């Protein structure tokens, strides 16, 4: 009855909550389709929830060899699983919105402030230069300024 | 960044030059570009002066409490006039290259 004692759905469910969470940052964030809304990760969480529920049923079954130990372990693992899900939802849907409003940023129709900054080779580059240096032999039609947080 | 790099040929074709700006040092940026394989222009605004002038400072959000830029994209025509902006409300949601290229048609 060894197989009966090891609660595999519980542990598989728990492992899957970890995978569901970290795979977003390690993998799914690379693709706009899975990044903008983390549906792939939420699907993994759903699967994890099903496994955890099966695990809870198993852990609380009356015919277990050590009912009390099994119930405590099942409860702890399930709570951790839910906590991982809560952490993920928090980081993506709440933490992700903690951005300054930037109401003073240049609006459509306004001129952007000119600047000169150092490129990755240490060369000083001005916005004027970026807007006038030809692209494949033709004058540029525009510049896409992409501000980002940093590489880390 | 990855999606912009992947669409670089289409940006070139449309006559649009992507330029990234952050508060990282040129050295940090250079190492990162090398490992990530990015080839377009990355500029370093170490003291976030330009980022501040564009009102895009995310205060103390960087490494060791440094001021960094919040994500933002501006499509600017050669006269320096803004033609399109994207100020995302959620850090994890960004403008897609195909949408930007679509807006770039305004500049033809």
The mean per-residue pLDDT over the stretch A64-76 comes to 89
State phi, psi for B82 to the nearest 5 degrees. Answer: -70, 130
Mutate to test the interface with B, among A111, A146, A151, A152 (most CBs of B within 10 A): A146
Residue A151 pLDDT exceeds 80: no
The mean per-residue pLDDT over the stretch B95-102 comes to 93
**Residue A62's pLDDT is what?**
81
Chain B residues in contact with A131 by the CB 8 A cut-off are 17, 76, 78, 80
- How many percent of chain A have pLDDT more than 70? 97
Confidence of residue A4 (pLDDT cuts 50, 70, 90): low
Q: What is the pTM of this model?
A: 0.90
Residue A2 pLDDT exceeds 60: no
**Residue A64's pLDDT is what?**
76
A8-19 pLDDT, tens per residue? 999 999 999 999
Nearest to B96 among A32, A118, A150 (CB): A32
């Amino acid at each position: 009855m060894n197989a009966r004692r090891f609660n595999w759905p519980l542990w598989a469910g728990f492992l899957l909550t970890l995978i569901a969470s970290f795979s977003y940052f390690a993998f799914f964030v690379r693709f706009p389709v899975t990044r903008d809304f983390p549906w792939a990760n939420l699907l993994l969480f759903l699967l994890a929830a099903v496994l955890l529920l099966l695990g809870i049923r198993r852990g609380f079954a009356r015919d277990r060899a050590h009912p009390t130990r099994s119930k405590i372990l099942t409860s702890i693992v399930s709570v951790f699983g839910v906590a991982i899900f809560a952490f993920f939802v928090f980081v993506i849907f709440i933490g992700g919105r903690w951005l300054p409003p930037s109401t003073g940023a240049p609006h459509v129709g306004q001129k952007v402030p000119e600047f000169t900054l150092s490129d990755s080779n240490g060369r000083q580059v001005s916005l004027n230069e970026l807007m006038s240096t030809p692209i494949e032999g033709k004058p540029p039609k525009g510049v896409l300024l992409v501000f980002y947080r940093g590489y880390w | 960044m990855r999606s912009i790099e992947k669409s670089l040929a289409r940006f070139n074709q449309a006559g649009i030059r992507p330029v990234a700006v952050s508060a990282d040092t040129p050295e940090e940026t250079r190492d990162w570009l090398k490992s990530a394989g990015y080839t377009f222009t990355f500029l370093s605004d170490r003291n976030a002066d330009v980022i501040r002038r564009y009102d895009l400072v995310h205060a103390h959000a960087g490494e060791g409490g440094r001021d960094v830029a919040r994500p933002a994209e501006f499509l600017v025509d050669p006269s320096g006039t803004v033609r399109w902006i994207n100020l995302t409300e959620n850090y994890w949601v960004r403008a897609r290259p195909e949408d930007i290229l679509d807006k770039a048609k305004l500049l033809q």
